[in-house]
Each structure stands twice: as C-alpha cells, then as structure tokens.
C-alpha cells in the first residue's frame, strides 16, 4: 500500500454539487463569476440543495422557511454567558452551540430525507442568529431579533450591529456568502461527509465540519490575514515584512491552495469589494497593503491569494470584529456542508480509507515490571 500525504490528488467521492476543473469553480455547472455577480445567497442555497436554480415561488418559499426558523432556543443563547474563561473563540462557541441545537430538535435522530431537509433549513437559518448573538452577548449587548423583510445577508449585518445596513454593505456581504458557499471536497466538507457516512445525524456532521474549518490552514486563515495586516501596519512596511517572512519560510496566510495553481477565481471578486469598501471607509491602506503583498508573494513565490486573503479587508471594512471572520465563513459554508450531507445520505457508503503502517515490526509484549 502507498499513501498520499494529506490525500493530495486522491479522488475520494463523486459529487454533483460543485467542481474545480482547470482552476474554474462551478456550483452545479454555474460559473462562480456569474453567481457572484448575479445571485442572492438564498438562490445559491437552493441551487446547492436541489441541484437547480429556484423558480420565483420556490425562492420565496425558501426565504420564508429561513425567516420562520431563525429563532434560537433561549438556552443556547444563555449558555454563551456561562463560560468560565474569557475570550472564548467564536468558532469554539459556534461549534458548541450548533451541537447544542441538536438537543432541542425533536427530529435530530430522524433519518429520512424529508426530516434531514427540514434540519438543513433549521441549521442554515439559526447559524447566523447564533454567530451574531454571540458577537453581541460577549460585548454585553442584547441579541437583535431578525427582520423577516430582510435578505439573509442584510439580516446578518443587522443582527450583528443592530443598525440598518447600507446597500453596498449588503451587496458585499451577499457576494462573500455566495463565494464561500461550497468548494468541492475541502477539508471541512470532507469531515462532514465522513461523519454522516457512519449514518450519524446532521448536527454531528455540521459540528465536526465547524471544528475542521476553524484551523488556520483552512477557514481560520481569514482571521490570521487581518492579524498579519495589522502587525505590518502600513504600506511602507509591507516589503520588509514579506521579505522577512519568506526568508524565515513562514507561511503567509491567505496565499496558496491545494487545488488551484493559477489562482483562486473567488479572490478577484473580494479584491474588487475590498477596494470599494476601504475607499468608502477612508481606510484604503488595508487594500493597498493587500495588493502590495499579493504582488510580492505571487511574484516571488508564485503563490496567488486564496478566498481568505481579500475577505479579511472586506469584513474589516464592514466593521466586523476579526475573530468573527471564520464564523462568517461557517455561516456561508453551512449551505455547502448541508448539501454534501444530503448527497452523502442519498447514496451512502461508510468512508473508511486505509493507512500505510510505518511503525515497528512485530514485537513481543513484556509485562510492566520487566520493562
């Protein structure tokens, strides 16, 4: 048996949800550029879950279902106030809260397509309430109830800030949600599929996926990008900082990708949004620093930026606290995880690869007092 470290190049399943072929990303055959420019996040959720775009009445029904299910049990919100340590990471809080949601869902253990679809709606609806409520409660603020007349994107921003978001902010946030929704067999989606392929429940799959997304080599990179930009501090400092990082063989967050070679097609949309939003906020430096970093890292290491790189300055410009960046990724990617979970259940087989053993050969057991 031979192994591939990190399963690089291994085709582990079939899927009809999204594809990356020759650096082009599609959801169900629709180019991501087309969707980023035109689609609402709700349309994308429907597309991923049904493998077709919704008609107007189907879209209206999904929006209604999401709006009807946004409320989160009070016990889940109250538990945010019980942590013994300060500065709990919002991804840890989200992971626990989603797991807890399963305890309040009468259908949690129901294993049929209709019940699983209903759970998908509940999780997708509640995940944005959970993230925004946590963001407020930890700052001593009361959660803000969702507005049924707002889009998913507008509601997130409204529930987080308590203020009516500007159109450009909603446009940017919707685009970010569309761009992050699914990505073939990335680490967290694979995790979700492995979990539910044991015929475990939907909540277990999403909880496991949140844990996988949290790491800085995956979704956690967007928070680290903002940390790097903040540490560098100014456009003038970029050249020296990048030179030092590359010389020390440090990973520069937001660059590189396991699958893309020429570049991540999602990055340009976020770069454009970053330019617009930083200009509006009068904080062009975050965009200018990012562009200079891209020039240097791509020029010198041939490593293009990934989706996490420009999303950092976009979210920062939307006035969002930096440790909420990865939870926002989870809010969007939940739609993809749920699509993959439903697809896995529909034609399931236990996922159980092999390991190439590299430990010692056969040994004889020696009792503890003779060792």
Active site residues: 257, 308
Smallest distance from the beta carbon of 309 to ligand ACO, in angstroms?
A: 7
Q: Which is nearer to ligand OAA, 224 or 306 (CB)?
A: 306
Smallest distance from the beta carbon of 304 to ligand OAA, in angstroms?
A: 12
* Torsion angle defined by CA atoms of residues 35, 39, 40 and 45, in that order, rounded to the nearest 10 degrees: -60
- Each as own residue / partner, the long-range contacts of residues 160-167 (CB below 8 Å, 24 or more positions apart, any chain) are 160/131, 160/132, 160/135, 160/136, 160/320, 160/324, 161/319, 162/136
Tokens encoding 69: 């299910």
Q: Which is nearer to ligand OAA, 129 or 326 (CB)?
A: 326
Smallest distance from the beta carbon of 256 to ligand ACO, in angstroms?
A: 2
Q: Which is nearer to ligand ACO, 101 or 331 (CB)?
A: 331
Residue 130 has phi, psi (to 5 degrees) of -65, -50
Residue nearest to ligand ACO (CB): 256
Residue nearest to ligand OAA (CB): 186
Q: Cα dist. 110→5, 125, 202 in Å?
A: 37, 19, 10
| In contact, 131 and 367? CB cutoff 8 Å | no
Q: Which is nearer to ligand ACO, 255 or 286 (CB)?
A: 255
Question: Can you give the binding site for ligand ACO, defined by CB under 6 A?
Answer: 6, 217-219, 221, 251-258, 301, 303, 306-308
**Looking at 258, 279, 300, 319, which residue binds ligand OAA (CB under 6 A)?**
258
Q: Which residues between 79 and 108 bind ligand OAA (CB under 6 A)?
A: none
DSSP state of 87: S
Q: What is the 3-state secondary structure (H, E, C) of 244-307?
A: HHHHCCCCCCCECCCCCCCCCCCHHHHHHHHHHHHHHHCCHHHHHHHHHHHHHHHHHHCCCECH
Q: What residue 253 binds from ligand ACO, ligand OAA, none (CB within 5 to 8 A, per partner kind)?
A: ligand ACO
Cα 60 from Cα 147, distance rounded (Å): 15
Smallest distance from the beta carbon of 354 to ligand OAA, in angstroms?
A: 22
User: Is 186 a binder of ligand OAA (CB under 6 A)?
Assistant: yes
Q: What residue 131 binds from ligand OAA, ligand ACO, none (CB within 5 to 8 A, per partner kind)?
A: none
Q: What residue 256 binds from ligand ACO, ligand OAA, none (CB within 5 to 8 A, per partner kind)?
A: ligand ACO
> Which residues are within 8 A (CB) of 184 and not within 5 positions of it... i.e. 6 or more apart?
15, 17, 18, 19, 20, 259
Q: Which residues between 302 and 341 bind ligand OAA (CB under 6 A)?
A: 306-307
Q: Which is nearer to ligand OAA, 52 or 258 (CB)?
A: 258
């Amino acid at each position: 048996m031979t192994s591939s470290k990190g399963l690089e190049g291994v085709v582990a399943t079939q899927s009809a949800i999204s594809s990356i072929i020759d650096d082009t990303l599609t959801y169900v055959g629709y180019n991501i550029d087309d969707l980023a420019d035109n689609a609402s996040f709700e349309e994308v959720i429907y597309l991923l879950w049904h493998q077709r775009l919704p008609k107007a009445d189907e879209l209206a029904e999904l929006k209604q279902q999401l709006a009807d299910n946004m409320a989160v049990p009070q016990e889940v919100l109250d538990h945010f106030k019980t942590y013994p340590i300060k500065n709990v990471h919002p991804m840890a809080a989200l992971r626990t809260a989603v797991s807890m949601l399963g305890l309040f869902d009468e259908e949690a253990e129901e294993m049929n397509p209709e019940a699983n679809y209903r759970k998908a709606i509940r999780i997708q609806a509640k995940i944005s309430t959970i993230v925004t409520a946590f963001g407020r409660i930890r700052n001593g603020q009361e959660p803000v109830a969702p507005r049924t007349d707002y889009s998913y994107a507008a509601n997130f921003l409204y529930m987080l800030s308590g203020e009516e978001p500007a159109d450009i902010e909603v446009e940017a946030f919707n685009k970010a949600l569309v761009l992050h929704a699914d990505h073939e067999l990335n680490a967290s989606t694979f995790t979700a599929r492995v979990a539910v392929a044991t015929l475990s429940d939907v909540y277990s799959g999403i909880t496991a996926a949140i844990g996988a997304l949290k790491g800085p080599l995956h979704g956690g990179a967007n928070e680290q990008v903002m940390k790097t930009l903040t540490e560098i501090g100014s456009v003038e400092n970029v050249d020296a900082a990048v030179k030092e990082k590359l010389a020390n063989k440090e990973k520069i967050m937001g660059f590189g990708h396991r699958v893309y070679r020429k570049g991540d097609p999602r990055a340009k949309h976020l770069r454009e949004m970053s330019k617009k939003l930083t200009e509006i906020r009068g904080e062009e430096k975050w965009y200018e620093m990012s562009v200079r970093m891209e020039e240097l890292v791509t020029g010198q290491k041939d490593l293009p930026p990934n989706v996490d790189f420009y999303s950092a300055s976009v979210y920062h410009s939307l006035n969002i606290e930096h440790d909420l960046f990865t939870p926002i990724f989870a809010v969007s990617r939940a739609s993809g995880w749920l699509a993959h979970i439903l697809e896995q259940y529909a034609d399931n087989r236990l996922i159980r690869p092999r390991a190439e053993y590299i430990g010692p050969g056969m040994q004889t057991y020696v009792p503890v007092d003779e060792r």
